[in-house]
A and B are shown apart, each in its own frame.
Chain A
């Protein structure tokens, strides 16, 4: 079974500074990877996804992630954060096809706190 590791539970960063949120996954022949964002008291929404092709994936709100197969990583980056980026970020991987569908495995989340 697939697994996802987000080593940083909390990341404080000052406004306009760059940020990187780390995600590592267990190796597989093919892998689909995702980043979701959860703003306070809201559900999750998709930030970006890697299915195939270019290893640099751009998402919404200026975020991007790079798929690195050799390091089994999919780190999320933003060159300059805003206060409004304060949220919890989840990395997820799609599992293999079973019981009529694909299921998703989520990491434990990283809480990004942007400081003024």
Chain B
């Protein structure tokens, strides 16, 4: 199992550009989520999904879109990047029933100039 994979590892964007952060998992987990990590603020939930075709907003959803067409993939889209979106982004997945451990990807470090 590869677990949770994320691409790219690093990305630099100019203000106003768009891009998609990719996340995939091969554990057949129903739940997938995106967090951003900022100094002194810990991890904050952006969007999450409990299954294909189902997404919902987390704590800081503004400026981000998601979709979930398959169980395996959960891409995060920035339609018009802003410097405030400079952060490290983590994707995570887990089973939804009962308690289950969240597995995290290695992260994408995004800089918006």
Contacts and interface: CB of A to CB of B under 8 A. Distances in A.
Interface in B34-57: 35, 40-45, 48, 50-51, 54, 56
Contact of B99 (A51, A90, A100): A51
B40 A100 contact: no
B96 interface: yes
Given A43-B105, A44-B90, A100-B54, A32 B42 contact: no
Contact of B58 (A46, A103, A107): A103
A42 B106 contact: yes
B42 A90 contact: yes
Q: Is the interface of B mostly helix, strand, loop or mixed?
A: strand
Interface in A43-73: 43-46, 49, 51
B40 A9 contact: yes
A100 B42 contact: no
A108 B42 contact: yes
A90 B57 CA distance: 22
Contacts of A45: 104
Interface of A: 6, 9, 32, 36, 41-46, 49, 51, 90, 94, 99-101, 103-104, 106-109
8 contacts: A6-B42, A9-B40, A44-B92, A90-B42, A100-B51, A100-B96, A106-B35, A108-B40
